Amino acid sequence: SPTDLPPNDCHRQLRLGINKTLGPKEHICISVAWDWMYKGRTEEGICEEINSTLHCARLLRGHKLQSLAIPELSVLYTA
């Protein structure tokens, strides 16, 4: 974020350095955590959850981003 932090903030100097390097523009950080996976109660619900998980994994790969978890392995584990 290009906004300045209060003088007593422990991250102020870090942000000033980053803003000096990257310039005063907003950068988006994507963070997705897979702490749990809903297994569903019906075959349709389970299928929907698996499809959603794998779809998100494909989107991340397509944008050359890395998930904080291992969605494909999570799907295999729940099988």
**Alpha-carbon distances, residue 41 vs 3, 31, 46, 61 (angstroms):** 46, 28, 7, 29
What percent of the chain has pLDDT above 70? 77
How confident is residue 57, by pLDDT bands cut at 50, 70 and 90?
A: confident
Query: Is pLDDT above 80 for 26?
Result: no
What is d(CA 9, CA 15) in angstroms, rounded to the nearest whole number?
10
Given a cut of 80, whether residue 51 has pLDDT beyond it is yes
Residue 67, pLDDT above cutoff 80: no
Whether the predicted pLDDT of 25 surpasses 60 = yes
Q: Residue 72 corresponds to which tokens in the numbers above? A: 């494909």
Report whether 53 contacts 69 (CB < 8 A). no
